[in-house]
């Protein structure tokens, strides 16, 4: 007879169904933990600037925790120096960036008319400036009544529709011209704007050209008065809550007295500049750079009204050489577009 050694009774192993159930429970717990981790890491108000910089939708916290929508706003600005190829470059850049605004300076009257005729769904504003012999060479299809016309000026374009409002203003403060042609009005001394309403906000896009030092007397005093006139003309729009975009050839360096009435930072103005500098650097409050051929000189700018853009808001500027002696500016900023 075989004797059986006393020992501990062995537990029966789990059935296949029970094991499968245990595995399912473990997987469910792991998935739940991952979901919680993802929810915690979703961007909140503190990370909205990074979201905006990436090109996606952005929001920012306002007074009383009200959420306002931010939208990227692209602008192309260029002093084309009467050159058709430079105008083509500006319009091509606007198409590439989907910019709703194109601001041009030193444009022949017939070039402005051509833009309007070739793009009937755009709003094109033109302000007549100085007499320019080069602008007499208009295309042969121009009406005979315009055969002796030779003016050039500034242009503002809204590409979003043909029913925008156009306004133009010739500066009260002019400069005396030196040498031949003394007594004529100075170069493009004025500002032209196009305006339209979208998402409950009126937007104004303005192109200007301040007096040039090499051609006129009393440049500094006249430039400063013209800059103050730009501030006066746009101040009512800003106070009303409109968005104002300003670009042009100011013929003045960023840290000059002329620019004080325009810069909201370290100045008495209403505007913040589109700039390629890191916004954390103090030196970029009035960023230096080069916008013309032949030297490190910056006289061309793109500005956004400070009432619709906050200081830390992402903004960028790209400077592109063209056939003009001025470089093309392609800039953008995230602006508050809520009504």
pLDDT tens per residue across span 213-236: 655 555 668 899 999 999 999 999
- What is the per-residue pLDDT for 17? 54
- What is the per-residue pLDDT for 66? 30
From CA 18, how far away is CA 4, in angstroms rounded?
Answer: 32
Give the residues across from 328 on adjacent strands: 320
Asked if residue 137 lies in contact with residue 123, where contact means CB atoms within 8 angstroms, the answer is no
What does the pLDDT average to over 186-209? Answer: 89
For the chain, the average pLDDT equals 78
- What is the per-residue pLDDT for 131? 85
Instruction: Say whether pLDDT at 315 is over 60.
Output: yes
What does the pLDDT average to over 120-142? Answer: 86
Instruction: Say whether pLDDT at 272 is over 70.
Output: yes
- What is the per-residue pLDDT for 285? 72
What does the pLDDT average to over 191-212? Answer: 95
pLDDT band at 208 (very low <50, low <70, confident <90, very high): very high
From CA 278, how far away is CA 269, in angstroms rounded?
Answer: 21
- Is 225 or 144 the better-scoring residue by pLDDT? 225
From CA 231, how far away is CA 212, in angstroms rounded?
Answer: 19
CA dihedral sign, ordered 201, 207, 211, 212: positive
Alpha helices in the chain (DSSP H): 16-41, 48-53, 84-97, 109-118, 219-239
pLDDT tens per residue across span 98-109: 999 999 999 999
- What is the per-residue pLDDT for 201? 95
Q: What percent of the chain has pLDDT over 90?
A: 51
- CATH, range 74-336: 3.60.10.10
């Amino acid at each position: 007879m075989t004797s059986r050694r006393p020992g501990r009774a062995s537990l029966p192993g789990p059935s296949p169904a029970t094991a499968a159930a245990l595995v399912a429970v473990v997987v469910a717990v792991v998935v739940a933990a991952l979901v919680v981790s993802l929810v915690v890491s979703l961007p909140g108000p503190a990370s909205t600037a990074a979201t905006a910089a990436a090109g996606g939708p952005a929001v920012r916290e306002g007074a009383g925790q009200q959420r306002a929508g931010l939208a990227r706003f692209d602008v192309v600005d260029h002093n084309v120096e009467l050159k058709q190829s430079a105008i083509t470059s500006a319009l091509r850049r606007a198409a590439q960036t989907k910019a709703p605004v194109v601001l041009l300076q030193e444009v022949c009257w017939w070039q402005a008319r051509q833009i309007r005729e070739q793009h009937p769904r755009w709003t094109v504003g033109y302000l007549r400036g100085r007499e320019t012999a080069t602008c007499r060479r208009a295309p042969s299809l121009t009406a005979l009544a315009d055969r002796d016309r030779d003016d050039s000026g500034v242009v503002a374009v809204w590409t979003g529709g043909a029913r925008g409002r156009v306004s133009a203003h010739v500066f009260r403060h002019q400069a005396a011209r030196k040498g031949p042609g003394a007594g004529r009005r100075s170069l493009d001394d004025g500002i032209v704007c196009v305006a339209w309403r979208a998402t409950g906000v009126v937007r104004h896009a303005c192109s200007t050209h301040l007096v040039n030092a090499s051609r006129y007397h009393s440049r500094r005093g006249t430039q400063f008065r013209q800059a103050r006139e730009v501030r006066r003309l746009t101040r009512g729009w800003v106070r009303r809550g409109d968005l104002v975009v300003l670009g042009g050839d100011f013929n003045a360096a960023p840290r000059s007295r002329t620019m004080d009435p325009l810069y909201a930072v370290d100045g008495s103005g209403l505007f913040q500049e589109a700039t390629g500098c890191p916004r954390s650097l103090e030196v970029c409050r009035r960023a230096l750079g080069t916008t013309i051929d032949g030297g490190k000189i910056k006289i061309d700018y793109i500005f956004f009204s400070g009432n619709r853009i906050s200081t830390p808001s992402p903004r960028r500027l790209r400077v592109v050489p063209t056939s003009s002696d001025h470089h093309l500016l392609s800039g953008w900023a995230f602006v508050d577009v809520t009504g």
